[in-house]
Chains A and B, each alone.
Chain A
Amino acid sequence: MTSQVDADDATLIGRSLDDPEVFAALFDRHAPLLHRYAARRLGPSEAEDVVADTFLAAFQRRGDYDRGRPDARPWLYGIASNLIGKRRRAETALYRAYIRSGVHPAEIPGAQVEDRLDTLAVNRPLARALLALKPADRDVLLLVAWAELSYQEVAAALAIPPGTVASRLNRARIQIRHALEEGD
């Protein structure tokens, strides 16, 4: 019984080949945070579509999943990154709207005014900096910062060598740092 309780993602994906319904467990396990990641990047309504399309694509490709990888997050975030990449206009529109209004459409309102002003002072330059990044660099940076994937996991997600992850991340960090210094 305990082995069933702790079934890892690869086991669930393997079972879902014979019993497709088991794939819903993968959705229940990962969709809430995947949605949050997509909502930070695109806003809530686009995020719902990205989550739905990510899991549909993953379900259809589950036979190709490398079951030597117990954690499916890199796979799922890789699919989501591709889908987010196709909605680049929505992403840049969200950053621009935030820079103008200081409001992110998915944030919980009600933070104290002083905190909110401090946050805005940091976030506005960050949003500008994210907008200026190359899309490939932004993917790597945000998979590390917001999806909390490791270098290796980002490499697996985006199907790029770890060295490329490191160089893109480095370049993005430098740009972000400059943007914050200028923001001060």
Chain B
Amino acid sequence: MDALKAMWETVPPATPDDLARARRRLIEEMGGRRRLITVPRLLVAAAAAAAVVIPLINGLGTPAYAVTKNPDGTITVTVNELRDPAGLEAELRSVGIKADVSFLAPHTRCAGPRFAGVDPSYGTRPHTEAELKWGAEHWRSLQVIKAIPAGHRIGIHPEYIRPDETLVLEIRDDQNPKVLWTLGAWLAEAGTPVKPCTPVKD
């Protein structure tokens, strides 16, 4: 067994250069699976034994969205209808948030990459060792948004946004009885452009 263990022992472990192509393939595969938050339809699930779809579109005169600044500095966005993203961006701007909002039809996503993320969560750049060691849960893109399932609300935590960074939101309603929205939220690097969303089939 020792002779076998020693056989071709001088074959070295691969270097980063040897592995670059394999790593790139893996990263590309991950790119199509960017972190998205699925927001469950908690109220619906609790209320109905049979699955019921409550569409976000309503004709009752309710505003499509509302933006509220809370005493603790957080911002609550209530989205009743996936309509008028530019209006929502303007509302967010009025409370100090530079945002880029896209509402998506069922089973579509914005073709990427649209921008350079501040951390690896958008998948446009590999992680640094420090970022991985610190843990993905500390990446700012993942902390800036907290989905609040009840009442179609999203909580924004501005303390995680640095000057001139853009909060990019991609929100999709798949008309799924269990999932209210699929929400992608990332921070784009300060002073860098965010391309318009071109929806593609997901």
Binding site for B on A (CB under 8 A): 1, 4-5, 7, 15, 18-25, 27-28, 31-33, 35-36, 39-40, 44, 47-49, 51-52, 55-56, 59-60, 104, 106-108, 111, 119, 122-123, 126-127, 141, 144-146, 173, 176, 180
Kindly list chain A residues whose C-beta atoms are within 8 Å of the C-beta of B135. 4, 7, 15
A28 and B126 CA atoms in complex are apart in Å by 11
User: Chain B, 119-138, contact with A by CB distance < 8 Å: what is the 0/1 string?
Assistant: 01101001101001111110
Within the complex, what minimum Cβ distance (angstroms) separates A16 from chain B? 8
Binding site for A on B (CB under 8 A): 1, 3-8, 10-15, 18-19, 21-23, 25-27, 29-30, 33-35, 120-121, 123, 126-127, 129, 132-137, 139, 142
The reply to whether A122 and B7 contact each other, CB–CB distance below 8 Å, is yes
The reply to whether A145 and B1 contact each other, CB–CB distance below 8 Å, is yes
The reply to whether B26 and A173 contact each other, CB–CB distance below 8 Å, is no
Q: Can you pick out 6 interface pairs between chain A and chain B where the beta carbons lie within 8 Å of each other?
A: A4-B135, A19-B139, A24-B30, A48-B22, A123-B7, A176-B4
The reply to whether A31 and B133 contact each other, CB–CB distance below 8 Å, is no
The reply to whether B13 and A173 contact each other, CB–CB distance below 8 Å, is no
A47 and B29 CA atoms in complex are apart in Å by 19
Residue among B26, B121, B134 making CB contact with A24, cutoff 8 Å? B26
| Residue in chain B with minimal CB distance to A123 | B7
Within the complex, what minimum Cβ distance (angstroms) separates A179 from chain B? 10
Within the complex, what minimum Cβ distance (angstroms) separates B173 from chain A? 21
The reply to whether A55 and B22 contact each other, CB–CB distance below 8 Å, is yes
Kindly list chain B residues whose C-beta atoms are within 8 Å of the C-beta of A59. 26, 29-30
Kindly list chain B residues whose C-beta atoms are within 8 Å of the C-beta of A32. 13-15, 19
Residue among B10, B21, B126, B132 making CB contact with A108, cutoff 8 Å? B10
A127 and B8 CA atoms in complex are apart in Å by 10
A59 and B21 CA atoms in complex are apart in Å by 16
| Residue in chain A with minimal CB distance to B122 | A21
A44 and B134 CA atoms in complex are apart in Å by 34
A32 and B11 CA atoms in complex are apart in Å by 11
Residue among A27, A44, A126 making CB contact with B3, cutoff 8 Å? A126
The reply to whether B14 and A31 contact each other, CB–CB distance below 8 Å, is yes
A119 and B11 CA atoms in complex are apart in Å by 14
